Amino acid sequence: MHIIPAIDIIDGKCVRLTQGDYTQKKVYNEDPLEVAKAFADAGITRLHLVDLDGARAQHIVNYPVLERIANQTELHIDFGGGLKSDADLNIAFSSGADQITGGTVAVKQPELFLGWLEQYGAERIILGADVRNGKVAVSGWQEESQEELSPFLAHYLAAGVTYAICTEVSRDGLLQGSAVDLYAALRQEFPTLQLIASGGVTTLDEVHRLAEIGCFGVIIGKALYEGHLRLEDLVK
């Protein structure tokens, strides 16, 4: 299972929100590149990079940060937040993203998302399936759609999606544990899906449990920044 630290960006800085609430913002580092280099130096190979300004603006904003990290580290970067057009995607890939994550666009503009899947291939396009109360959350989690999680995943799996990031919004940033039971159920229902768990991961025990149920990866944010989990333990 891949350990995938998250870097969320607002105003070019490394921040964390609580449950996607922009009013509950904490800046952890003025320079996300510094954070990314520390991850790489510890032996981490993948990075989840989120453009929170982009998510709010509905178009890519912080691509210069992506470019710097891509040019100055060997990290495999998946990039998300505000990718709503072919132009956004071109900027993300030309700035060095290895994969992109599309969530809101998969709900609101499914034809566009399917077009990306066809054009770039399933290895480069990750489905963002963020969930709150069993429904897919969109627009930087500011909105709840009417899409139920399981049918949503089933539809896109049938369309060729290989990777999905599923974030339990109600747990994100609270350091109270992840929705392991949800991921176990999803692994059982969709055994071929490369599932990446996200939201609330706080302990090594949870990380082991997510590995045991067969998650492709786990995204870890606040627990790393607040010292609940250590990079060296995770890399082991």
Provide the pLDDT for residue 74.
98
Selecting among 51, 88, 130, 172, the annotated active-site residue is: 130
Higher pLDDT, 56 or 195: 195
Distance CA(218)–CA(3), nearest Å, equals 5
Is 172 annotated as catalytic? no
Selecting among 8, 51, 53, 78, the annotated active-site residue is: 8
Q: Which of 12-26, 107-121, 221-235 is predicted most confidently?
A: 107-121
Provide the pLDDT for residue 90.
97
Tell me the two tokens of residue 38.
């520390």
Give the residue ranges of DSSP H helices in the chain. Answer: 32-41, 52-57, 63-72, 86-94, 104-108, 110-120, 149-158, 180-189, 204-212, 222-225, 231-235
Q: Please tell me the pTM assigned to this model.
A: 0.93
Residue range(s) defining the domain that contains residue 44 = 2-235
> Does residue 173 register a pLDDT over 90?
no
Is 130 annotated as catalytic? yes
Domains: count for the chain: 1
Tell me the two tokens of residue 93.
């890939």
> Does residue 142 register a pLDDT over 80?
no
In percent, the amount of the chain with pLDDT more than 90 equals 77
The per-residue pLDDT for range 50-101, each reduced to its tens digit, is 999 998 899 999 999 999 999 999 999 999 998 999 999 999 999 999 999 9
Axis crossing angle, helix 86-94 with helix 110-120, rounded to the nearest 10: 40
The per-residue pLDDT for range 16-55, each reduced to its tens digit, is 887 677 888 889 999 999 999 999 999 999 999 999 999 8
Closest CA to 138 of 170, 110, 111, 106: 106
Task: Read off the CATH number of the domain in which 35 is found.
Answer: 3.20.20.70
Higher pLDDT, 199 or 144: 199
Distance of CA 84 to the CA centre of its chain: 16
Distance CA(150)–CA(100), nearest Å, equals 21
